[in-house]
């Protein structure tokens, strides 16, 4: 048998990867299809480039769509910075300074922070590495140009918007019931039915929150497919466009950097165009709603007055929310916030007449009538139970319970209600 020789082969010890962990940042400032395709191309390009580069470890591509480079609220941008601070990234690649940030302050503060962390930012278009000796100087100069370009674009856009306003043309439309086509409002029939229902319910006596609750229960979405709320109903009822008119430049952008929207209170001219398009609500109905809005606002203004000693001190035992003060035809009541906004289905609590509440407080405190000073000094909070019980919690740690009585039907009737009942009886007998 032939002699066999076994040769031992020594393998070199495995060396840990010491390359750069590289990420990319991409952004487009519009949500249009062409822009989104461009963003997808950027993501694909950077993913491929980083993964094929020898010595680079792919971390990911952080991409923001329809976000302006002058704002710091970009979600993916903030996530990129968070990962840099967490030590997950050694280098960031981006297309250009304007894609990274058009605000010189934002750009320099970000680049400087990353530089202190030892992280390089490479701007492809300008061929600049932020961590290089002359990088910051070049970035300062080029970022200033980018910021001026942003200002120029913003001013050109404002000029186009104002030119349209002067000609009585709307800039956009996000309201229920209409779409803008070639600068003209066109009615969307199905949505117009909802608009008519809102105006009709309000004139029937429904409150704004009650109308919102009803639309939510009917499963009717807003224009933006969200739930209805009191503020949305309020804006609809006051919107002159539903009567066929146009009031243009109600809001404006404060500047091209923050891009904050502000209500126009006379800072800029407004443009009013009467009978600009086909109305959804006839003029008589719209004016009747405006009068009713004014009437209800005046009633609340006269009756509500200032905050009272009860504010923030009455807690609902069912849902845990605070009670709030509300004006009703029979006077002030205190009502659970959940019940007031969402209805009995969500919280079966009861509203408490303010006079009843004051009387119960006086009885518990042993005072002649309600004493706001004594109440504030001695009572920590009140828990409103479902069975008309009020649990008073004193600041000394003790507690006491009292039970209030519902008002009789006669007491709850106002002159208005009596008049309507008489009219109804007359019609029935006639």
Domain boundaries, the chain: 20-150, 178-302, 314-412
Q: What's the token pair of residue 18?
A: 């010491």
* Average pLDDT value for the chain: 79
14 or 348: which carries more pLDDT confidence? 348
pTM of the model: 0.43
Residue 104 — very low, low, confident or very high, per pLDDT cuts 50/70/90? low
248 or 93: which carries more pLDDT confidence? 93
Contact 351/344 with Cβ under 8 angstroms? no
Output the CA angle 400-401-404, nearest 5 degrees.
145
Residue 8 — very low, low, confident or very high, per pLDDT cuts 50/70/90? low
Contact 50/22 with Cβ under 8 angstroms? yes
Q: Write down the pLDDT at residue 59.
A: 94
178-302: what CATH class? alpha beta
Q: Write down the pLDDT at residue 305.
A: 38
406 or 265: which carries more pLDDT confidence? 406
At 348-376, the pLDDT tens digits run 999 999 999 999 999 999 988 888 888 98
122-126, 133-137, 298-302, 310-314: which range is least confident on average?
298-302
Please report where in the chains the tokens 């470890």 appear, as a residue: 57
103-107, 281-285, 393-397, 416-420: which range is least confident on average?
416-420
Do 20-150 and 178-302 have matching folds?
A: no
Dihedral of CA atoms 242, 245, 251, 253 in degrees, nearest 10, equals 110
Q: What is the mean predicted confidence (pLDDT) over 297-322? A: 75
Q: Write down the pLDDT at residue 112.
A: 84
Which of 199, 370, 205 lies closest to 284, judged by CA?
199
Show Cβ contacts of residue 275 under 8 Å, excluding neighbours closer than 6 positions: 244, 245
Does residue 14 surpass a pLDDT of 60? no
Show Cβ contacts of residue 19 under 8 Å, excluding neighbours closer than 6 positions: 55, 56, 57
203 or 150: which carries more pLDDT confidence? 203
H-helix or E-strand spanning residue 381 = strand 379-384
Does residue 50 surpass a pLDDT of 60? yes
Contact 269/249 with Cβ under 8 angstroms? yes
Residue 16 CB burial class (10 angstroms; 0-12, 13-18, ≥19): exposed
Does residue 1 surpass a pLDDT of 90? no
Q: Write down the pLDDT at residue 253.
A: 58
Q: What is the mean predicted confidence (pLDDT) over 290-301? A: 80
H-helix or E-strand spanning residue 23 = strand 20-28
Q: Write down the pLDDT at residue 203.
A: 93
The total number of residues shown for the chain amounts to 430
Residue 35 — very low, low, confident or very high, per pLDDT cuts 50/70/90? low
Residue 243 CB coordination number (10 Å): 19
Q: Write down the pLDDT at residue 262.
A: 64
Q: Write down the pLDDT at residue 99.
A: 82
Q: What is the mean predicted confidence (pLDDT) over 288-293? A: 93
Q: Write down the pLDDT at residue 6.
A: 64
Does residue 381 surpass a pLDDT of 70? yes
Does residue 159 surpass a pLDDT of 60? no
20-150: what CATH class? alpha beta
Does residue 396 surpass a pLDDT of 50? yes
Q: What is the mean predicted confidence (pLDDT) over 379-393? A: 92
Q: The sheet that has 379-384: what strands, in order across it?
A: 314-316, 379-384, 389-394, 399-403
Does residue 293 surpass a pLDDT of 70? yes
Q: Write down the pLDDT at residue 402.
A: 92
Residue 423 — very low, low, confident or very high, per pLDDT cuts 50/70/90? low
Does residue 110 surpass a pLDDT of 90? no
Does residue 131 surpass a pLDDT of 60? yes
Does residue 82 surpass a pLDDT of 50? yes
Residue 309 — very low, low, confident or very high, per pLDDT cuts 50/70/90? confident
Q: What's the token pair of residue 430?
A: 């006639």
Q: Could you give the 3-state DSSP secondary structure of residue 110? A: helix
Alpha carbon 397 to its chain centroid, in Å, reads: 40
**Percentage with pLDDT > 70 across the chain:** 68
- Beta-strand (E) ranges in 95-220? 120-123, 128-129, 178-181, 184-187
Contact 69/256 with Cβ under 8 angstroms? no
Which of 123, 157, 167 lies closest to 141, judged by CA?
123
Residue 309 CB coordination number (10 Å): 16
Does residue 21 surpass a pLDDT of 90? yes
Does residue 94 surpass a pLDDT of 90? yes
Does residue 326 surpass a pLDDT of 80? yes
């Amino acid at each position: 048998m032939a002699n066999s020789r076994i040769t031992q082969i020594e393998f070199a010890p495995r060396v840990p990867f010491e390359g750069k962990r590289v990420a990319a940042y991409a952004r487009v400032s519009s949500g249009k299809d062409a822009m989104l395709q461009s963003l997808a191309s950027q993501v694909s390009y950077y993913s491929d480039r980083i993964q094929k580069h020898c010595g680079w470890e792919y971390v990911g591509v952080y991409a923001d769509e329809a976000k302006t480079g002058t704002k710091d609220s970009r979600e993916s941008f903030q996530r990129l910075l968070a990962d840099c601070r967490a030590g997950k990234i050694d280098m960031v690649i981006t297309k250009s300074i304007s894609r990274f940030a058009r605000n010189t302050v934002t750009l320099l503060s970000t680049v400087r922070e990353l530089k202190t962390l030892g992280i390089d930012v490479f701007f492809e278009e300008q061929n600049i590495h932020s961590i290089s000796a002359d990088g910051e100087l070049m970035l300062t100069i080029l970022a200033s140009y980018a910021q001026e370009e942003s200002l120029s674009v913003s001013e050109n856009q404002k000029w186009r918007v104002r030119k349209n306003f002067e000609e009585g043309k709307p800039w956009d439309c996000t309201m229920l019931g209409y779409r803008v086509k070639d600068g003209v409002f066109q009615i969307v029939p199905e949505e117009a039915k909802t608009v008519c229902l809102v105006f009709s319910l309000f004139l029937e006596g429904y409150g704004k929150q009650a109308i919102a609750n009803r639309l939510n229960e009917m499963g009717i979405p807003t224009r933006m497919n969200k739930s209805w709320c009191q503020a949305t109903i309020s804006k609809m009822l006051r919107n002159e466009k539903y009567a066929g008119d146009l009031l243009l430049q109600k809001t404006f952008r404060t500047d091209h950097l923050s891009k904050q929207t502000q209500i126009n209170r006379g800072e800029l001219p407004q443009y009013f165009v009467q009978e600009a398009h086909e109305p959804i609500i006839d003029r008589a109905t719209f004016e009747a709603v405006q009068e009713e809005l004014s009437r209800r606002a005046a009633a609340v203004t006269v009756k509500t007055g200032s905050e009272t000693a009860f504010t923030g001190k009455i807690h609902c035992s069912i849902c845990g929310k605070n009670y709030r003060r509300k004006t009703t035809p029979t006077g002030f009541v205190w009502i659970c916030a959940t019940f007031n906004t969402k209805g009995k289905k969500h919280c079966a609590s009861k509203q408490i007449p303010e006079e009843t509440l004051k009387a119960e407080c006086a009885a518990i405190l042993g005072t002649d009538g309600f004493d706001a000073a004594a109440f504030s000094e001695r009572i920590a909070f009140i828990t409103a139970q479902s069975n008309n019980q009020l649990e008073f919690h004193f600041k000394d740690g003790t507690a006491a319970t009292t039970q209030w009585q519902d008002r009789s039907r006669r007491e709850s009737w106002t002159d208005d209600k009596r008049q309507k009942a008489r009219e109804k009886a007359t019609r029935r007998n006639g």
